A = this chain, B = another copy of it.
Amino acid sequence: MKLTDLQQEFVLHFGEMGSRWGINRTVGQIYAVLFLSAEPLHAEQIVERVGCSRSNVSMALKELQSWNLVRLKHLPDDRRDYFTTPADLWEIVRTLVAERKKREIDPTLTKLRELQWREPDTDADAHAHARIAELGTLIELLVGWYEDMDRLETARLVQLFALGARIQKFVGDAEAVVPRLKGRRSAAREG
């Protein structure tokens, strides 16, 4: 089956965006095809739709699997591998964020912590050392927030995002009632 114009355009767009998203064109296109398809697809069907070589599809699927972005399925009496993307878009978002964090943030956080152990050698190092520490603290704050959010049920997550800045109002109110909220942070997190 060939793609409709609508689908074609979506697929080509994902291919073009691929490089900005840190994946290559084929991977982007294949993901798009799977994302749009109502049915799981096997490799040969993907070849038809994106028009690249069979081996390229194989490699791209491996890449998508390493990102946990596709699921492998099997049909009865058919030994081919079929692939899909999750129906739930929030699951996709969670996966995407988790994987990007793992690849783009975690190695740096590890390195920053490692560098913080070092005593600053020289005077000029003092500033650099402080800067590294500050960056580490900031990233830890953001990662901690993310981990908190990731634990929430999707319904709750949607609610918070939909609230947007109006969340502030509640926090402001609550702070008046429960002062020194910040001080309680680490204790509360451990629970």
B6 touches A93 (CB 8 A): no
Q: Bound complex: CA of A7 vs CA of B127, how far in Å?
A: 10
A152 touches B124 (CB 8 A): no
Q: How large is the interface on A (under 10, 10 to 19, 20 to 34, 35 or more residues)?
A: 35 or more
Contact of A174 with B by CB under 8 A:
yes
Give 1 or 0 for each of A83-110: 1 = CB within 8 Å of chain B CB. 0000001100100000000011001100
Neighbour of A149 across the interface among B5, B7, B164, CB < 8 A: B164
Closest residue of chain B to A12 (Cβ to Cβ) is B111
* Partner pick for A141 among B7, B21, B152, B162, CB 8 A cutoff: B162
Is A168 in contact with chain B by the CB < 8 A criterion? yes
A162-B141, A171-B170 known; A121 vs B189 contact (CB < 8 Å) = no
With A5-B121, A38-B127, A162-B182 known, 9 other A-B pairs at CB within 8 A are A13-B107, A20-B103, A36-B127, A89-B134, A141-B158, A144-B164, A159-B182, A164-B189, A170-B173
